[in-house]
Structure 1
Amino acid sequence: MSGNSQRDSVEKSYRKMLRGMDLFERQRPTMAPTATLRFRVLQRKPGVNLQDLELAILARDIEIPIDVAPDRTFTLPRDRRAEAADAVVSPNRRRLTMTWRADVRTPGLPSNTRRLGDLRLECQVGMEAALVSNSPSWIVRLYDKLDTTPAYCNRKNNEYLFFADKPLFGVTLVAGNRREQLPAGRLWAGAFDDPGLRQDLPFCDCEMLVDRTYFLPLADTSWPHDTLVVFDFMDAPDAPR
């Protein structure tokens, strides 16, 4: 990947991503005991091909290639030299063509199901690692400019954007006998509550994936970490037509 670290590439701080990994290890015992952490890159602009994406940890005289899985997830190796050199995690893609998220998953769940504790921890890791790639104007709207820390995830009505694996019709929270469907305003980047969303999309890292986005009541402790987050995907056999 030599020579692919471009001044306008969407680089991330290696140190900050390591801090996200450290936070995951601290919080995992209580929030997601059997989960694993990976990082994920997602398409942001039309026509962007991520199939041959290359990633590397780069600093002066340091270049460490990162293996990217077919689902475009990866793990970061720990390297003391790279951390000391304030390295970056750099893709061979230009700025604003892709976005980043943490990916925390408990094994053994159905393909249309996530666990709320995992997703709470995803938010915290994502904020600690500074993964969100929105423009400043969108950041001000979704995240308090004075609170871009993991504490944001515990704020009432926070709007940390999650991305489902496929386009969504709906999302239901299930905890024992309690079931609650997310309101439409918590889906599709809040499009129902924002008639001006279309003009704002170029500034949001959800631009290409609006139909996969959703917000969760992360701060509502009446929903335990073991709450299941069940997705009704648009391509499900019994989905409304």
Structure 2
Amino acid sequence: MFKIGYRTMKTAIATPVAIYIAQIFDLQNYFSVGILAILCIQSTKKKSVKAAWSRFAACVIAMILSTLFFTILGQHPFVIGLVLLIFIPVTVMLKINEGVVSSSVIILHFLAASSIDSHLVVNEFAIILIGIGVALVMNLYMPSLDRQLLKYQEKIEGNFRLIFEEIIQYLRTNKNTWDGKEITETAEIIENAKLLAFRDVENVLLLTNRFTIPILK
């Protein structure tokens, strides 16, 4: 069945919006902000913030290394290999290696640039901020999962009621015509509900916004 989810919708909106903003500022290689926006749209708020930070930090490191290497050794394709030889281990060490792909785009911009100067650095920095910023704004809205969790709860409670009724019936009559499907069904529902609950927690950046901690007097 063809279905469009919230993440797909946000990606489809964030990408052209980011590109349009980059066009307004007349940035070179403005289309690259779309790549950053796509990569930073995640399924939860916490994942989005983590992805944004990893890509921002990785891009900044890529800009620094690209400036140093291309300025000293020249803008030659083989220099990219030297940049990546240092860049990738650094991102792995800092645990921001998910930003390698987006940063590679920035490195290629430095290779293709007519000259490496402050204008190029500002341009690339603006691309990073716009791409990541638009994605973060889009991910501020996450649909509430409370209704789905409540449905799971009601279904689990209903299944448990049927299970206990069947057990009571068997103990009374010593006859068993029950196929026990509610047991396996309940196990599946609990697993799905657990995954949904974890996702709901990932959408809360500050736990105090979601949970109330009683104050002991």
Whether TM exceeds 0.5 here: the answer is no
Give the greater-gyration-radius structure (CA): 2
Bigger proportion of residues as helix: 2
TM-score with structure 2 setting the length: 0.28
TM-score with structure 1 setting the length: 0.26
